[in-house]
Structure 1
Amino acid sequence: MNNPPEMLPADRQRFLKEHLMSEIAAERDAPRPRRRLVWLIASPLAVGALAAVTVVAVPDRDHGGAAPAGAAPSASSTPSASPTPSATPLPGPTDPAGMLARAAKAAASSPDPGARATQFVYRREIQDGARETKHERKSWFPVDGRSGGLILDPTMGNGRNPWPAKLADSPGAPRTASFDAPTYEFVASLPTDPQQLLQRLLSFDRAKRVSGTLMTPKLYNQFAFDDVQMIFQNIAAPPAVAGALMEAAAKIPGTSVVADEADAAGRHGVAVVGTNGTMRVALVFDRTTGAFLGVREVLLSDLPPAGPDGLPPTGDPSPGAGNGKGYDYASAILTSTIVDGLEAEATN
Structure 2
Amino acid sequence: MDEITAVRRLWTEVPEGSDEDLRGARGALLAAARAPRSRAWMLRIPRTGLRIALAGGVAAALTAGVLVAEIRPDGSDSRGVAGMPAAPPANARELLERAARTAAAEPELRPRPGEYVHLEMRTVSYVSMEGAGMQVTGTEERWIPAGGTGPWLSRERQISTAPAPGIALPSPQPQLQREPEDTLTETPACSSADTVTASRMATWPLDEAWLRRRIETEAAKATAVPEHLRFWGAVGTFVRESAFRPALTAALFRIAAGVDGITMVPDAVDAAGRHGIGVTMEEDHTRTELIFDKSTYRYLGERTVATRDRTTSFTSRPLSDADVDRIVRDGVSKGMNAETLRRELERDRKPRKVTMRTPKGAVIGSRAVVGVDVAQDLPSLAPHPSHVKVPC
Pairwise TM-score range, normalised by the shorter structure:
0.5 to 0.7
The one-letter code matched in structure 2 to 1:113 is L
Aligned residues: 239
- Aligned partner of 1:298 in structure 2 is 305
1:120 corresponds, among 98, 116, 121, to: 116
Structure-2 separation of matches of 1:116 and 1:93: 41
3-state SS, counterpart of residue 158 of structure 2: coil
SS of equivalent to 2:301: strand
**Which residue among 138, 143, 154 is the counterpart of 1:140?**
143
- Choose the corresponding residue for 1:320, options 362, 366, 371: 362
Which residue number in structure 2 is paired with residue 262 of structure 1? Answer: 269
Offset from partner CA, 1:101-156 (integer Å, 9 cap, x none): 22221111111112446433322232224124323333323351531413141378
1:230 aligns with 2:237: yes
* Structure 2 equivalent of residue 190 of structure 1: 205
- Are 2:107 and 1:111 equivalent residues in the alignment? yes
- Of 77, 89, 94, which aligns to 1:98? 94
Give SS of 2:257's match. helix
Q: Quick check: which one's helix share is greater?
A: 2
Show the 5 A alignment for 1:193-204.
193=208, 196=209, 199-204=212-217
Q: 1 or 2, which has the higher strand percentage?
A: 2
Q: TM-score scaled by structure 2?
A: 0.50
Q: TM-score, normalised by structure 1?
A: 0.55
Q: Counterpart of 1:28? A: none
Percent identity between matched residues is 21
Which runs of structure 2 are paired with 1:233-244 in the superposition (5 Å)? 233-244=240-251
The Cα of 1:92 is off from its aligned counterpart by 1.5
Two-structure CA RMSD over aligned residues (Å): 3.8
Moved more, 273-282 or 244-253: 273-282
**Is the Cα–Cα contact under 8 Å of residues 123 and 366 in structure 2 kept in the other structure?**
yes
**Are 1:130 and 2:134 an aligned pair?**
no
Q: CA–CA distance in 1 between the matches of 2:283 and 2:238?
A: 15
Q: Cα offset for 1:293? A: 0.9
SS of alignment partner, residue 203 of structure 1: helix
1:77 counterpart (20, 43, 47): 47
Segment drifting more, 112-121 vs 261-270 = 112-121
Q: Would the alpha carbon gap of residues 207 and 81 (structure 1) be closer, same or farther in structure 2, given more than 3 Å must change?
A: closer
Unpaired runs of 5+ residues, structure 1, are: 1-73, 304-316, 322-327
CA 244–160 in structure 1, closer or farther in 2 if over 3 Å, else same: same
Cα deviations by residue, 1:278-298 (Å, 9 ceiling, x for unpaired): 531101122444432122211
Displacement after TM superposition at 1:166 (Å)? 5.1
Q: For 1:191 and 1:280, how far apart are their aligned partners in 2?
A: 28
Structure 2 residue aligned with 1:149, among 119, 129, 153?
153
Q: Using the TM superposition, give the Cα deviation of residue 188 of structure 1 relative to its aligned residue in structure 2, in angstroms.
A: 4.5
**SS of the residue aligned with 1:189?**
coil
> Is the 8 Å Cα contact of residues 153 and 159 (structure 1) preserved in structure 2?
yes
In 1: Cα distance, 2:218 partner to 2:139 partner: 35
1:206-250 Cα deviation digits (max 9, x unpaired): 54564xx6xx9x43x533322322233234352222112112123
Q: 2:368 aligns with which of 325, 332, 336?
A: 332
Unmatched tracts of structure 2, length 5 or more: 1-43, 51-72, 128-134, 160-175, 311-358, 381-392
Alignment partners' CA distance in 2, 1:320 and 1:183: 28
